[in-house]
Structure 1
Amino acid sequence: MKPNSSEKRNQNLLWKIHHWAGLYTGIIIGILCFTGAVAVFIPEIDLMIQKHYYSVSSSPYTIPKIDRALAQAKKDYPKMSGLIIDMPDKPGQVATFSFAVKGKDKASSKFHFLFVDAGKDEIVGSRDRQNSLANYLRQMHVRLYEGFWGRQLVGLAGIAFIVLTLTGLLIYGDFMKKQPYPKIRKKNTRILMADWHKILGISALAFNFVIACTGAWLGLLPKFMSWFGVKSPDHFQAPIFMDKKEDAGMVVHWDEVFKAVKQHFPELKPGYMRASEDGSATIEVHGSIEAQIYERNINALVLSKKSYQPLHKFEVAKAAFADKLYAVQEALHFGDFGGLGLKILYAVLGLTSGFLSVSGFVVYLYRTDKKKKRTISPLKTTFIYTVLILLVLIVIALISMFIGYRHAAFVAAIIVDGTLAGFIIYAIVRAILRKLKTRSATASL
């Protein structure tokens, strides 16, 4: 049965939406899929680097000990502020102290990151956290390493990915009824790539939809929180009742903190901790609970610095549905809830989604090849673009790790903002030229 004119118009509209959404966001989606396939292994990559490059590990312990190591850190860095203590996931891994030492201005302030053996209670090494591979992978995937527009662009790319996934289902669902799955036609390169594009798109449909929705949410979250008053699940604010300097100078016995956590929130696996410096005299312990599909360290226990008694307890599994929905996004996006096997599956499917950007671009070039009369074949053009993008990612990574985070962010900002500005200027000029051409043609009649 042939489609009627209404069905044909709808089909053509779907094709146009799919085409334009993929053409204008395909590069960003491809970069995000590629970096995301690697980013799911950030904890594993970082631990491997710690073990083999920095040669740090922790001695066995029943209750972690960090009091002596922290006292040494405060002696070495008397002007430290904003201390965050990260606890290891598994035995043998080190704890870490991360903090800032304020200078005369923002540019002269420095961030420090110390490795701590929580069994022997001693500092065993240090590194620059900002210039690490783990930080590069996360910053590139979350905001394209660009601080102003980057995160919004990632969120908008997530929305475009949702559009591509849904229009792809509607377009290729009918195609899959006519062609046996997973048959690939080899008539020519265009049809071969088109079939791979359709079959892989259908195969990864559910995964792509989840990644697109969670990616759009995470990318645009700061704007959602600002525009619609969205709040994080746990927004407890302890009252201020003492001087900030007095609060910052209070000694915390961390062995007492660990005992209090075990007593009042035994299911909590501490992820990171921090003592207040604002006059509230509190200790925040954030962590995870085994076998739950929520983002890391979303649960919390707030203790008094004076008595180590609980002032506030937050367990996301007992929170409202909206809070649970908020807390599940990052875990679903990075596959951080099902072990290494699930992460490998996420990586494979992520690379598959990245291939959709490449194959879609190849198909587009083949379809427009005769009209545009290009001198370079579509496959060569795609290969050149792909290599250039990979080189840019590698160069920014090398700058970030060996020269500095700020330098890499500056280079990324020039590339991202320059490309965005160039695209907008191109679109405006093209629209003006088309309008002038239409007027000229109308005037000559």
Structure 2
Amino acid sequence: MKAATLRAWSWVHKWSSLVSTVFLLLLCITGLPLIFHEEIEHAFEPAPQATGEFVAGTQAGEAPSLDSVVAHALQQARGGHVNFVLIQREESLVQVGTSPSRQPSPDESRTHLYDLHTGAVLQAPSAGDDGFMDVMLRLHTDLYMGLGGTLFLGFMGLLVAVAVVSGVLLYAPFMSKLPFGTVRHDHARRTRWLDMHNLLGIGTVVWLTVVSLTGTINTLEVPLGHLWRNNDLAAMRQRHAGAPPAQAFASLHQVLAAARETAPKSQVDSIIFPGMKISGPRHHLVILRGDKPATRQLVQVMLVDAESGRVSDHASMPWYVQALSMSQPLHFGDYGGIPLKVLWAVLTLTSIAVLGSGLYLWLTKPSKARIKSRAPIDDIRSGDLRP
């Protein structure tokens, strides 16, 4: 590699690393508990409490029908409108949203909670101040700065990927001269730290690249959601714009049966009722996910005629929404249960060690070496450079 090329890669690696290091440390520290967010929440956060009431018509040992759950929610709300039904299979919960009007204020909306398998009516824990996991999530996703903070962290994720790739291109040709895993204990302290830094860095290079890129994709959730609603979903609704508003609704049993027949390898995740802005006046908007762990993030949407219970339109999510859906669990190691989460945690701790050693090597670098134009090239060739 030519000296000019080495200088260029050295400059790219140095500044992409320095600019992103503090934020990557923050993301690693806050991301560590988020890897186990489900386990932590189940262990320490209060669970919904049973009220002792059950959905009418539920037989002992039988799961209630969604129609009976919705009827109970409307009874509790003393009429009004159903806005959505959300099925949370992993938590064994059903949420039903109701309001007195189709365009309610936030104070008018009400959420009813039920056990998916027993029909027990549940009372959600009262919302309090942000707990530990809420603080970790906000710091990890937007730094309490809203969308601007989210997009800023996405840019930091890109810088991390640049730092990783440039580090590999910069050091791989020279580290190949040493046996893999070599730590030169008989050399100076900085050389030992450099060897440890490079060894740990090689162990995390693929993971850190994947996590930084999936994290960057995740920061685009709000813009991509707006893009999907304003383009793909709007076009789907527009194809049925002339249909009159629904007057009498078919049963949700019919809606679910039609959805499963159209997408047999999927499970219904949520149903948005007619009258909502996202669904239109005539149709249920049904959102489905794959019924296997490997296909869970593959999302499809349907417009189901609320009166007839038949599917009017059906489409898979566009590629950019699918990429977003698949990147979210991959970012936190949610695909493989506890073993993958433990691996993610170990790699996170290793990355913290890489970042800490990199900062140490930069801070302890002799000041003269920082300003000599030949220093980066000489240090690389001698195996003693780390910005």
Task: Settle same-fold status: TM greater than 0.5.
Answer: yes
Of the candidates 349, 352, 361, which is equivalent to residue 350 of structure 2? 352
Aligned 1:394-405 pairs, distance under 5 A: none
1:285 aligns with 2:283: no
Inter-partner Cα distance in structure 1 for 2:211 and 2:340: 14
Contact 2:298 2:325 survives alignment (8 Å): no
Q: Does 1:309 align with 2:304?
A: no
Q: Is the 8 A contact 1:294 1:337 kept in 2?
A: no
Q: Write the distance in 1 (CA, Å) between the matches of 2:254 and 2:34.
A: 35
SS in 2 for 1:208: helix
Aligned position for 2:335: 337
Q: Does 1:32 align with 2:27?
A: yes
Q: Give how far 1:173 is off.
A: 0.8
Deviations 1:253-280 (A, max 9, x none): 3333333333332311222222132443
CA drift of 1:42 comes to 3.5
Tell me whether 1:177 sits opposite 2:176 in the alignment: yes
Shift of 1:354: 3.3
Q: Which residue of 2 aligns with 1:115?
A: 113
**Which region of structure 1 is more displaced relative to structure 2, 145-154 or 131-140?**
131-140
The TM-score with structure 2 as length reference comes to 0.73
Query: 1:38-437 to 2 correspondence within 5 Å?
Result: 38-48=33-43, 53-54=47-48, 64-77=64-77, 83-90=83-90, 93-97=92-96, 109=107, 113-127=111-125, 131=130, 136-186=135-185, 187=187, 190-220=190-220, 222=222, 236-237=236-237, 239-240=240-241, 253-278=251-276, 279-291=280-292, 293=294, 296=297, 298-315=299-316, 325=323, 327-367=325-365
Question: Separation in 2 of the partners of 1:257 and 1:227?
Answer: 27
In structure 2, distance between residues paired with 1:123 and 1:45: 24
Distance in 1 between residues matched to 2:363 and 2:43, nearest whole Å: 41
Whether contact under 8 Å (1:294, 1:330) holds in the other structure is no
Preserved contact between residue 285 and residue 301 of structure 2 (Cα < 8 Å): yes
SS of residue in 2 equivalent to 1:149: helix
Using the alignment, how far apart are the partners of 1:227 and 1:93 within structure 2?
Answer: 31
1:98 offset after TM fit, Å? 5.4
Q: Structure 1 residues 182, 233: CA separation in 2 closer, same or farther (over 3 Å shift)? A: farther
Say if 1:241 and 1:228 are closer, same or farther in 2 by CA, change over 3 A: closer
Shift of 1:281: 2.3
The count of corresponding residues between Structure 1 and Structure 2 is 357
Q: Is the 8 A contact 1:41 1:343 kept in 2?
A: yes
Letter in 2 for 1:329: S
Task: Check whether the contact 2:77–2:98 (CA below 8 A) recurs between aligned residues.
Answer: no
Matched residues in 2 for 1:61 and 1:357: separation?
54
Matched with 1:420 is none
Amino acid paired to 1:236: M
> Any conservation in 2 of the 1:283–1:302 contact (CA below 8 Å)?
yes
Give the partner amino acid of 1:277: G
Structure-1 separation of matches of 2:339 and 2:310: 39
Change over 3 Å in CA distance of 1:127–1:323 after alignment to 2: closer
Alpha carbons of 1:105 and 1:257: their partners in 2 closer, same or farther (altered >3 Å)? closer
Whichever residue aligns with residue 312 of structure 2, its letter is L
Letter in 1 for 2:211: I
Bigger Cα displacement from structure 2, 152-161 vs 345-354 = 345-354
Q: 5+ unaligned residues in a row in structure 2: which ranges?
A: 371-387
Secondary structure of the corresponding residue to residue 367 of structure 1: coil
Which has a greater percent of helix?
1
Secondary structure of residue in 2 paired with 1:311: strand
Say if 1:100 and 1:109, in contact at 8 Å, map to a contact too: no
- The Cα shift of 1:63 comes to 5.5
Alpha-carbon offset, residue 213 of structure 1: 2.2
Secondary structure of the equivalent of 2:309?
Answer: coil
- Counterpart CA distance in 2 for 1:198 and 1:143 is 30
Could you say what secondary structure the match of 1:204 adopts? Answer: helix
Q: What residue ranges of structure 1 are gaps of 5+ in the alignment? A: 373-445
C-alpha contact (below 8 Å) 2:224/2:321 kept by paired residues: no
TM-score (norm 1): 0.65
Q: Give yes or no for the alignment of 1:8 onto 2:3.
A: yes
Q: Which residue of 2 aligns with 1:440?
A: none
Distance, in Å, in 1 between the alignment partners of 2:79 and 2:153 is 37
Mapped to 2, the partners of 1:61 and 1:313 lie a distance apart of 34
Q: Structure 1 residues 74-83 or 271-280, which shifts more? A: 74-83
Q: 1:70–1:291: structure 2 CA closer, same or farther, 3 Å change rule?
A: closer
Contact kept? 1:293, 1:331, Cα under 8 Å: no
Structure 1 residue 309, shift from structure 2 partner: 0.9
**Superposition deviation, residue 43 in structure 1:** 4.1
Distance 1:271 1:221, change over 3 A: closer
For 1:314, the aligned partner's letter is A
Deviation at 1:153, TM superposition (A): 0.8
